Amino acid sequence: MRTNGMTIFYSRSSNGKHENGVGFLVNDQLLPSIKKFTPVNDRICHIRIAERVYNGLSGYCLKVILGDFNSQVGRETVYRPTIGSESVHDMSNGNGTRLVEFAIANGLIVSSSFFPRKNINKYTWTSPRGIYKSQVDHVLVDKVHILCIKDVRSKRGADGDSYHFLVLVKLGIKDALDTHANRLEEQLEVQTASEIIKNSVLKVANNTIKQPSRCKAKQ
């Protein structure tokens, strides 16, 4: 689906009804870089984007998990650095605690709790009469890619016939690729250092093994 220079990649439920769903809104300028889109169900879909310049970075994958978790994430210092200090709520509720524990177990961070915004740009849900507001929709990303998330905020103007507000995430793809390239370089340096140590140990071990035979030959 295309509109105003943007293309929507959408994954919906299999019951044929136009309800629920998840997707990506991609600028048409990036379409040549779309490698693959895989719809899974009304909550999960995958998209692979790769600039031709960076095709050599095989195996790169940036995980982003987002949606309505019905989770109020607080500001507890015990959960730092998995969460930030900019959440609407002071304390996490039960679902919030489970979400944070899931993030910790999978090497993720709750990036929607890191950006200083007015509360009006943090609330993601409102009650039918607008009396109660909350931040229950969140964005999780690999902790090694936290700097690739440039902004997370809610938009109240989008008419989606829902009590949830649209949550916008600004992602720096080049920064993500640079981060991956740096990690590959670090891994290569570690592997090189490991090979040097391994060869040194083998050399010493071989010399140690040969010494008794030399002494026996002299006798």
Mean pLDDT of 62-91: 90
Would you place residue 157 in the very low, low, confident or very high pLDDT band (cuts 50, 70, 90)? confident
Would you place residue 109 in the very low, low, confident or very high pLDDT band (cuts 50, 70, 90)? very high
Name the token pair of 133. Answer: 């507001």
Mean pLDDT of 52-77: 71
SS (H, E, C) the chain: CEECCEEEEEECCCCCCCCCCEEEEEEHHHHHHEEEEEECCCCCEEEEECCHHHCCCCCCCCCEEEEECCCCCCCCHHHCCCCCCCCCCCCCCHHHHHHHHHHHHCCEEEHHHCCCCCHHHCCCEECCCCCCEECCEEEEEEHHHHHHEEEEEEECCCCCCCCECEEEEEECHHHHHHHHHHHHHHHHHHHHHHHHHHHHHHHHHHHHHHHHHHHHHHC
Mean of pLDDT over the chain: 77
Global pTM? 0.60
Mean pLDDT of 63-67: 82
Residue 189 has pLDDT above 80, yes or no: no
CA 210: distance to chain centroid?
53
pLDDT score for 59: 47
Residues whose CB is less than 8 angstroms from the CB of residue 125 and which lie 6 or more positions away in sequence, other chains included: 68, 133, 134, 135, 136, 137, 163, 164, 165
Mean pLDDT of 54-70: 66
Instruction: Measure the CA–CA gap between 40 and 218, rounded to whole angstroms.
Output: 74
